[in-house]
Every structure is written in C-alpha cells, then in structure tokens.
Structure 1
Amino acid sequence: MEEEYIRLIFGLKLRQKRNERNLSLFGLSKLTGLSKSYLNEIENGKKYPKPDKIALLSTGLEVPYDQMVSLKLDKKLAPIGELLRSKMFKEIPLELFGIKESDLIDIVANAPLKVSAFISTIIKIAQHYDFSRESFYLASVRSYQEANKNYFGDLEESVLRFAEAYQINLSQPIADKDLAEILVEEYGYTIHFDALQPEGPLNNLRSVFVPKTKVLLMADGMDEAQRTFIYAKEIAYNYLGYQERLYTFPWIKFDTFDQVLNNFYASYFAGALIIPRAPIHQALTEVFARPNFDIEGFLQVMALFNASPESFYQRLTNILPKVFNIQDLFFLRFSHKAGSTSYELKKELHLAHQQSPRAYETNEHYCRRWVSLKVLDRIGVSNLAHEFDVQVSAYEDGGRYLVFTSATQDPFKTGYYRSISVGLLINAELKRKLAFLNDPKIGIEKVGVTCERCHINDCELRQAPAKVLDSVAKNKAMAMRVAELMREYGSSVNQTKA
C-alpha cells in the first residue's frame, strides 16, 4: 500500500481510539507527552510516528501495539480501508476534474465515519445495480467530456499538425489506404486481414493489435469507413505517444483508467481527422440557413466524409457546442435485435445539463414515441442500409428537443440494428442558429422517458402501466391528506373539543 495511505489509516485508527476514550487532543497530549500539534498531524495522515512514539500512544490509549500498527480497520472504518487498498485515487487522474488527491484524503481524515457511511452506501448501490469498476471508469470519462463541453482544442490542433506533417488534404475525404500507408511506412505496422474469422469467439471483433510485433489484425468484410476509423485510431495512439492503451476494437476489457481515457482521446483524434472542423462547419452552416429542413442536404453533409453515421453524430457533439454555441444537447445510441421488443440504451452523453431522455437500468420500457426507436422498427422491415428521420420531441416536464436520428445495421452483431440520435434543446439560441425550426414538415410528438414514468394518457404505444408515476402520485396524495389532518387536529378548537 502507498506510504501516504498507511499514514492515513494509522491516523484514522488513532482518532477513533481517542474518541472512544472520550479524549481531546489536549487530553491525549497530557497522557502521552506528545505535543497536540504533532498528534493532529498524525491523525490527518501527515506523519507516521516512530516505534517509541507508537508505544507511548499504545500505553496511553490502552490498545495493544500490534493492533495500533495493523492495517486492518474495524467495521466502522472498513469501507475506507477498501477504498484505499483499491488504489482508486491513484488510478483515476483526479487532476482532470480539478481535484487534488490530498483534498480527498483530508476529507476522509476529518470526517471518517460520515465518509465511511457514504462509501458503504455507494458500494451497496453499485452491488445492487451490478455497477462495475468498468462502469465507474466509463461514467468518469463521460463526466469529463461533459465538463469540457466535449471539445478538446489540443486534440483538434494535433490533428492539424498531423495533417500538415503528413500532407493530408483535410478538404477531401480521407481514404483508408492513405492511413494504412502511414501506419506501415511510419510506424512499422504489418496489417493482416485473414486472422479474425467471422465465426467463433472473435466474431464481434473488428481489429486486434499485437504490440510486440506491431501486427494489426483486421476483420474481413468491413466497409471503408470502419477501416478508416480503426487506422485513424492506431495513428492517434502512435502520434500522441500513448503507451497505456486498449488492443481490441471494440474493447473487451481494460485494467486502468488511463487505458479508458486514452481510448477516448484516440477516438476523438480519429473523428477530428476523418471529419475535420472547417468542412463540417461550412456544410452545416449552409443547411442551417435554409428556411425548410433539407433532408437530402443533411444526408449530403454526412456523405462528405468517409465516416459511419455514428462517427458523424459523435462529431456533431464536438462541433455544435463549440462552433455554433448549441450547448444543450444529448447523444444516444440504441441497440435492437430484429424481431424483438427490447431496446437497449448502450451509450449516452448529456451536455449543459442532464437532459430528459436518459438511461434507466431497471428494466423499464423506453418511450416508443421516440424517433430513435421508430427508425429501428422501420429498418428492421425495410432492410435499407440507412434509415434517417427528424422529429421534435416534446417532454411534459423537460422541454422540447429537435432530434436527428439514423439507424443502420450493427457492424458488430449479426441480426442487430443500432440507432444514433442527437437531440438539441429548442431554446432562443437554437432558434437563432436554425432557420428551419418552424418547418411544418418536421413532426412534433409528445413523448415520455419510460412508460413507467409517462404522463401521456391512452397512449396506443404504451408497453407498461405508469407504475412509478402512480406510486409518486399516491405518496403525494397521502402526504397532502396527512397535512390536512395536521391542520385540522392541530387547531386549538379541536383540542378543546377533545
């Protein structure tokens, strides 16, 4: 264990034993002959006493020496010990969020029992909802994206420097062969297309990188957009100098937070390289200025780049907040198996604030009025390569959103489809930037979040009763009746009658 954490654990135990004896720092100082300031530094994890000082503390507190120096904490403080032993503070770069590790340690040191209770609560919630370490890391990265409005200027500049150094024309679609050539000639890669078979345990993998030999194994049958993105990510890992990285696409597992964060950075670099800022800015400006929504024009903007619909929508979450000042938005990715009635929200991002449509890990039924689900139903029947739609979604208590959605076949799972959506909050800023917002051809749909929480009565698409909403209403009615009884029987008149 880190020396710093050993000092903290000793300090926590000392404070606990002192409080159990109902001793102040002054009192413990009188008992042991150690100064009050020195004892305070020990309890706050600043210093670790020498053996002779520990002996004085052991005698004064009537606690065996071995128990004092043991790293084992009792039940009250055990959650803090688990947290420290997990090295969670070390694995997550707290400086990304403007937090110093010492600040957290001070909080733990100054309120150990309350912090321990809080940590126990988090652990129980995580166990109850099967919230894993990986889930925590991914949630941390999402929070980091949201805190930075999902725009990273240093990565954008890195893309421009790379393009200049390798003479890449960012005004033209980037071909996969051009990026493959850079991997081979500049970074010593060897690329194979026959190792990942479509059958067997690796059928969902699109690439595997073998670092020892710099061999990149690619699944056969991918389209050019998929190959281009994978090559661009590999270039990012090398050009940006990331050693901690993931070796499969999509990822199977990760061991450290740096791997997760660097995977995000590499993906961001790849998206900014394939869909450069200047061309998409110009193209979207033209579409946004038209008085009516031009579906073909929007799809043509997507076709300007050698990118999948998901990469394009992801890039919108970088460009819209920074370039157009459209900051209230969400990104959703759903997965759906053909013929099933299940829709899984696999990925989400919320900028500016937590938007109304969000994931519920409680087996609730997402609103079937969402355009994100409608396009999944359509593509399962039409078998088209790409289904697109746009809708104004009106939430009863969460505002109105203009939602763009594309559905495609899932490139990683046979028989599955995915939809990608970006929703923009309709406010004064959006009205200034989008001339077509009043286009009557854009349908307006009243929506909820899940059926279990939906206010819409007599919904023909409802999959489950509004039991969560009903429970809230029942509790509210009960509270109101109790309040009435309090007023009725709390008056002096009723007391006199009694």
Structure 2
Amino acid sequence: MITDENIRIIFGLKIRMLRQQKSMSLAELSKNTDISVSYLNEIEKGKKYPKTNKIASLAKALGTSYDWLVSLKLEKKLRPLAQILESNILKELPLEVFGIEPRDLIELVLDAPDKLNAFIKTLLEISRNYDLTVENFYSSVLRSYLELKENYFEELEEAAEKFKAEFLPDTPLTIESLSDFLAKNFNYEIDYEKITEFQSLNEIRSVLRVEADKKILYINPKLSEPQILFILSREAGYNYLGLSPRSYAYSWVKVDNFDELLNNYKATYFADAMLIPRKKLIIDLEEFFALTEWKPDAFVHLMEKYHQSPQMFYARLVSILPRFFGINKLFFLRLYNTPHTNHFKLTKEIHLAGLHNPHGTDLNEHYCRRWVSLTVFKELEELQVQKAYKRPVCDAQISKYIDSDNQYFCISIARPLHPTQNTNCSLTIGIAINEEFKKKVKFWNDKAIDAKEVNETCERCSAFDCKERAAVPSKYEEERANANMQRDIDLLLQKED
C-alpha cells in the first residue's frame, strides 16, 4: 500500500539519485533551483514534498521530466526497495523498538543501493525457503528485545505491586476477587459456557468480546483454576496498564502487528509478577540454592507452592535470576512431544547474554536425544502408561557440549499440556556453569546429578558411537570435508621455501 510517507520517500530517493549521478552537491542544486539546502535535505530524506513550481525547478536542474519525478516508478536497481514500500513492510516492522526510523533504512539504501538490495533479496529468498511468516518474524524480534532487557521490566514489576496494593490490598488473588474487580471497574461479564458451542475453540483458552457498554470474557471451562486465574490477571493487566492494540483470543490465532504481540507480553508479565511476587520468590530461591544436595522434589515443591503453572514459574526464574542473583548466562526452552513418538518440537526459547547451546536454528534436524529436555518425556510417558502420573516429572543434568568448553546446569520438568490433548510439554532452564553460578548454587556439583556429553543435533555431532543417535552426522561430515578441502587449498597455495 502506497502511503503519503512512501510517496515522499520515493520522491526523495529520485532527487538524491539524480543529484549524485550528476556529481552535484546540495549547495549547487540549491543555487540552480532557488530552494534552500535545508529544505532539499528534508526532501531527500522523505520528510517534505515540494510544491508544483519547486518540482518543476528540480526537474529542470536535474535534467529529467516533471512527470517522471512525480511518478512512483524507480530505476531497476531500486525496485526491491519499491516492492518493500508497496508491501507496507516498513509499517509492519517494529523498528521503533530498537530506536530505528524507517528513514534510517532508506539512508542505507541510498548509501549502498546495490549491496543492500542484494541483501534484501537474500532475506526474502531465505524467508520463502524456510516458510517464515510475519508471525515468526515478530516473535523473533520480541525474543531479541527481551534478551536485550534480560527479560526483566522494573516498571511492570512495580505496576503489579501497585495494582495489588491499590485495588486488592487485603484480599487474596482469587478467581472471585479478580472477576469482581473486572466487573466493577471495567464492566466485564465472565462466561464459561458460550465458548463450548464452538468445536474449533476446544483448545482456545479465552476470547474477549467488546461491546459498547460491556466486555464479555469467554473462558474455556476445561481450564484449571491457576489457568483461569492467570487469564483474569492478564485482563487486569491489559486494562490497568491501558494496553492497546491487543489480541482478543488466547492463545491467539494470529498476530496483526508487533505492538499487539508486545502488549500481550506486557500483560502476561504483569500477571506473572502479580501471581508470583518477586520478593517472595527471591527469598524462596535463596533457601533452595542453599541446599547442598540436588533435590528434584524440593524444586517441584517450590514450583507448586505458588499454585501457578510451571510455565509461569519458569518465566519468573528467567526474569529474577539475572537481576537479583547475577545469573544471566542462561537459556529457556519449551518443547512439545506427542506421546509414543520421537517427534519433538521446540516452541519457545530465550537466551540471555548470548546464544547458548542448545538453540532452535536447526530446521528439520534431530535434537540430541541425550538432552534432559527430551529424556524427561520418557519418564513422563512411562507414568502415563501406568496411569501413575500425579505431578510434573523433574530431573537435572550437567550438559557438557561435545567439541566445546560449554557446560550448563539444566533443570527440566515435563507434564501433559492442558487443555490440549495428546501433547506433553517439557520446560528447561539451563545455566552456564561459571564462578558466579558456583557461588550462588551450593548443590551445583552434587555427584548424584547425571553428567552427559551432549550436542545440538545428531546431524552436527562428532560422537559417531553414540547409542542414542537418531540420524547420521551428515552436517558434521559435510563441514569436516569442507574444512579438509580448505586446509589442502591453503597448503597448495603456500610458497615453497
């Protein structure tokens, strides 16, 4: 879609391109057109669009026609940029999150159009080859933003505490108290029945309908009490923080823009901070880390103490550990598995202080079967077969990465995904074993903890004799062959003494 801003940008591109082709300075063009240098600069940056008489003067000075200047056609080497402008992608990209203006990208195009357009074409080709969607892109940008902020937002922590003190100071956070708050303050009605009339919404957790005089929140009655409490807390966050635009379905079906995704995260963070307060969690973690032995039951007990979902508890760990314990070299993974299959899907990841092993860049490859993130699925499945499952399965592992010095202390839990059917979920937090971690966590070297040599994927692993291998090391062999080839080329090119 061509907007007024895009028209200004295209016009400015043409002026600057023609001026540079004629090796003409802004001062010279100003002299020939009687247009000030500052105004010409604004035109070239796409900030201003001149009047008809000034366009005619520019066309004459630059040796082109008035009609070509005002048309939306660009020369061949700038056509990829025109495609971007027409697709409205500059509006969709969340550039402002990183302090970038759309015009900053235009400046890059102007400075090196051939190279940047080749780069743009490459990105578009990669996105097609890997079937990347706008939602994938938005999620990646959000993940990068959270990693820059170490997944901690003081303003949202304070907002959650202020909300509790202001509206529910002496009242526990319950389904009843939050439902009453939403009804009295924001005209909410809570409906647990209507959503069941739509078969396709069996796994949707909630849908919000906004009418002129009220809001109706349809909640899936299959949800557990903690899940319903979280949804109500999230709605409180949306309204208390005044977040807009927003998603109306949870978990959402589609994302219309980045602001919607970011606001969803803020409302979720607000709910997490309210339901698992940082002050209490810090005290509990200090006591847990003071244990001299790794006790999985103690970890599960700590998680269950807050009566919230494991997902929320892990999210709070990733927020609290860097800020209050100095443990910032960590990663979080969430994987899904269909019982009785070897299909594992990485559905969420966060990496703080760098990209850690493992990470989800390996499309269509087999994740290392030694990961504790995967082995806990087997333990869970055995309990499910025996109908003995009662609480999340928990295990720890010291993961030593093959052909690397990287070592991580990993804690994983696995449980059935609810209300989604026939899907199990594992959550893992992996912390780099460094001096800071050793100081804070007394049980880090407990001999009872299983230490495993692991890798990213089977395809990239040099452990040829691995009994758990699920695929041949094709990528590793390819990389080794290329390295040998480069070594021999270097030897061949060396000068003889």
What's the TM-score once normalised by structure 1's chain length? 0.91
Question: 1:193-342 to 2 correspondence within 5 Å?
Answer: 193-197=192-196, 200-212=199-211, 213-342=214-343
Deviation for aligned residue 1:65: 2.5
Q: Secondary structure of the residue that 1:346 maps to in structure 2?
A: strand
Aligned residue for 2:480, secondary structure, equals helix
Whole-angstrom distance in 1 between the partners of 2:363 and 2:218: 38
Q: Which of 387, 394, 399 lines up with 2:406 in the alignment?
A: 399
* Secondary structure of 2:123's aligned partner: helix
Q: How far 1:146 moved relative to its partner?
A: 0.6
Structure 1 distance, partners of 2:419, 2:463, is 36
Letter in 2 for 1:8: I
Find the partner of 1:386 among 383, 386, 392. Answer: 392
Matched residue count: 487
Quote the offset at 1:337 in angstroms: 0.8
Question: Aligned residue for 1:160?
Answer: 161
Distance in structure 1 (CA, Å) of the matches to 2:168 and 2:42: 58
Give the AA of the match of 1:391: Q
1:24 aligns to 2:24 (yes or no): yes
1:377 matched residue in structure 2: 378
Q: Distance in 1 between the 2:195 and 2:42 partners?
A: 58
Instruction: Quote the offset at 1:167 in angstroms.
Output: 2.6
Match for residue 422 of structure 2 among 415, 427, 432: 415
Is this contact kept in 2: 1:392–1:445, CA < 8 A?
Answer: yes
Would the aligned equivalents of 1:11 and 1:109 in 2 still touch at CA under 8 Å? no
Deviations 1:211-243 (A, max 9, x none): 114111111221111111111111111111113
Q: Out of 295-304 and 314-323, give the one that drifted further.
A: 295-304
What displacement does 1:361 show? 5.0
**Distance change in 2, residues 1:342/1:198 (3 Å):** farther
**Alpha-carbon separation, structure 2, partners of 1:283 and 1:387:** 21
Distance in structure 2 (CA, Å) of the matches to 1:26 and 1:237: 49
1:254-298 alpha-carbon deviations (Å, 9 max, x no partner): 212111110000000011111110111111110101111122222
Following TM superposition, by how much is the alpha carbon of 1:161 offset from its aligned partner in structure 2, in angstroms? 0.5
360 and 96 in structure 1: CA distance in 2 versus 1, 3 angstrom threshold? closer
Structure 1 segments unaligned to the other structure (5+ residues): 494-498
Q: Does structure 1 retain, via aligned residues, the 8 Å contact 2:46–2:103?
A: no
- 1:355, 1:398 within 8 Å by CA — same for their partners in 2? no
For each residue in 1:434-486, what CA deviation from the matched residue of structure 2 results, as whole angstroms up to 9, or x when unmatched? Answer: 00111111110110011111122311111111111111110110111111111
In 1, Cα distance between equivalents of 2:264 and 2:170: 25
Cα distance, 1:98 vs. partner?
Answer: 3.4
> What is the CA distance between 1:176 and its match in structure 2?
2.5
Q: Deviations over 1:88-107 (max 9, x none)?
A: 44445544323345544433
Higher mean alpha-carbon deviation, 56-65 vs 188-197, is at: 56-65
Query: Given residue 148 of structure 1, which amino acid in structure 2 is its aligned partner?
Result: K
Cα distance in 2, alignment partners of residues 287 and 108 from structure 1? 54
Comparing 136-145 with 34-43, which one deviates more in the overlay?
Answer: 34-43
Partner of 2:468: 461
Q: Distance in 2 between matches of 1:375 and 1:73?
A: 57
Match of 1:496? none
Say yes or no: does 1:435 pair with 2:442: yes
Q: Does 1:11 align with 2:12?
A: yes
| 1:291-317 alpha-carbon deviations (Å, 9 max, x no partner) | 111222221211111211111111100
Range 247-256 or range 263-272, more displaced: 247-256
Separation in 2 of the partners of 1:452 and 1:39? 56
Letter in 1 for 2:418: P
Shift of 1:31: 10
Deviation at 1:128, TM superposition (A): 1.5
Kindly report which structure 2 residues correspond to 1:343-362, keeping only aligned pairs within 5 A, or say none. Answer: 343-362=344-363
Given that 1:175 and 1:306 are in contact with CA atoms closer than 8 Å, whether structure 2 keeps it comes out as no
1:359, distance to aligned residue in structure 2 (A): 0.5
8 Å CA contact 2:156–2:270 kept in 1: the answer is yes
Other structure's SS at 2:413 match: strand
After TM superposition, list the pairs within 5 Å mapping 1:82-161 onto structure 2: 82-161=83-162
C-alpha spacing 1:217/1:348, structure 2 compared with 1 (3 Å): same
* Alignment check: 8 A CA contact 1:228 1:306 kept: no
Percent identity, aligned pairs only, is 38
Q: Normalised by the size of structure 2, how large is the TM-score?
A: 0.91
SS in 1 for 2:72: coil
Partner Cα distance (1:157, 1:468) in 2:
48
Q: CA RMSD in A?
A: 2.4
State the alpha-carbon separation in 2 of the partners of residues 164 and 30 from structure 1: 62
Are the aligned partners of 1:25 and 1:40 in contact in 2 as well (CA < 8 Å)? no
Report the secondary structure of 2:200's partner residue. Answer: coil
The alpha-carbon distance between structure 1 residues 165 and 63, as it changes in their structure 2 partners (threshold 3 A), is same
Structure 2 match to 1:447: 454
Distance 2:362 2:83 in 1: 26
Aligned residues of 2:300 and 2:392 also touching (Cα < 8 A): no
